[in-house]
Amino acid sequence: MQRFFRWLVGAGALPPAPIEAADGNELERPWLRRWELLPKRSAGADFTSDDYTHARARAVEVARTTLGESLWAELERHGYLEVHSRRFPGVLYRLRVGRRIEVRCAPGTRNPWPMPFLCINPEYPLPEVEFFAQLYLYCRDREDLIVRVAAPQPWDQALGRTF
Amino acid sequence: MGRIIVANRRGHQVVEWDAETDTAEARAGVEEAERILAEARAGGCLISKKVGDQHVIDTEPFDKTVKEYQIIAPIAGG
């Protein structure tokens, strides 16, 4: 009914119809919202400390599913994962949870970027371990997008859009 | 049973569909899953699917026989 009245009074495009997730709650589809004004390392003013705790716990499940047991064990063992560049021979990306990507070069290999760290954030807030697993997929399967969006930085730092 | 993992600030939520049952409800579930992936792609997201025990980025159209998809957030520099 609310959608109909919005349409009737010319209040812009109808908002997308809600979808129910398997947990019985409305599915949050973050790609439909704008997040630019959110403070750094925040999930929004409506988020409680319990929400952060639960989100981080649930994120571990998904990150583990995304990476598979072998990579997950490697992450736990070393504290990072590495992906060899397919585009730049001798270059590898070292990823740590919640941090910028470190670009490491074999001896004699020139860094294709002017600085050793690449700052890449999700466009909407995510728990950092969950985004870590997604960033791993980007580095391994869609390096072209990493190259296109990466912001080279001189030092490491926590990412601003994860928490 | 197939599922889409929707990574969001809640950690994640799941949407499921049943590709093996031929009922109106099951077909609606499949259509909704396909619609969610299309909407996410239109919003700049990537899609991954589970192959073996890990996810890989997937550029193929929705396949109702896939066991697990995940919606991957768009990325931005800085």
* Digit-coded pLDDT (tens) for B44-62: 999 999 999 999 999 999 9
Give the residue-averaged pLDDT of A125-151. 98
pLDDT band at A13 (very low <50, low <70, confident <90, very high): low
* pLDDT for the residue numbered B63: 97
Percent of chain B scoring above 70 in pLDDT: 100
Q: Is the pTM of this model over 0.95?
A: no
List, for residues A85-136, the tens digit of each pLDDT value. Answer: 999 999 999 999 999 999 999 999 999 999 999 999 999 999 999 999 999 9
What pairing do the DSSP bridges indicate for beta strands A151-153 and A101-105? unpaired
In this model, does residue A4 exceed pLDDT 60?
Answer: no
In this model, does residue A14 exceed pLDDT 80?
Answer: no
* pLDDT for the residue numbered B28: 95
In this model, does residue A3 exceed pLDDT 60?
Answer: no
In this model, does residue B3 exceed pLDDT 60?
Answer: yes
CB contact under 8 A, B39 and A150: no
Among chain B, residues having any CB pair with chain A shorter than 8 Å are: 3, 5-16, 32, 36, 39-40, 43-46, 48, 50, 52-57, 68, 70-78
Give the residue-averaged pLDDT of A19-42. 93
Say whether the ipTM exceeds 0.85: yes
Give the residue-averaged pLDDT of A50-75. 96
* pLDDT for the residue numbered B78: 82
Give the residue-averaged pLDDT of B28-54. 97
Average pLDDT over chain A, rounded to an integer: 93
Number of H helices, E strands in chain A: 5, 5
* pLDDT for the residue numbered A10: 57
In this model, does residue A6 exceed pLDDT 90?
Answer: no
Q: How far is B22 from chain A (nearest CA, A)?
A: 20
Q: What distances in angstroms separate CA A93 from CA A42, A82, A103, A118, one per listed residue?
A: 26, 5, 5, 9
Which residues in chain A are closer than 8 Å to B7, comparing Cβ atoms? 59, 62, 126, 130-131, 134
And the tokens for B7? 């990574």
What single-letter DSSP state applies at residue A36? T
pLDDT band at A36 (very low <50, low <70, confident <90, very high): confident
List, for residues B7-29, the tens digit of each pLDDT value. Answer: 999 889 999 999 999 999 999 99
Which residues in chain A are closer than 8 Å to B14, comparing Cβ atoms? 21-23
Instruction: Pinpoint the alpha helices (H) of chain A.
Output: 2-8, 49-67, 69-78, 128-141, 143-149
Question: What are the residue boundaries of the structural domains of chain A, listed by start?
Answer: 1-34, 40-153
Which of helix, strand or coil describes residue A69?
helix
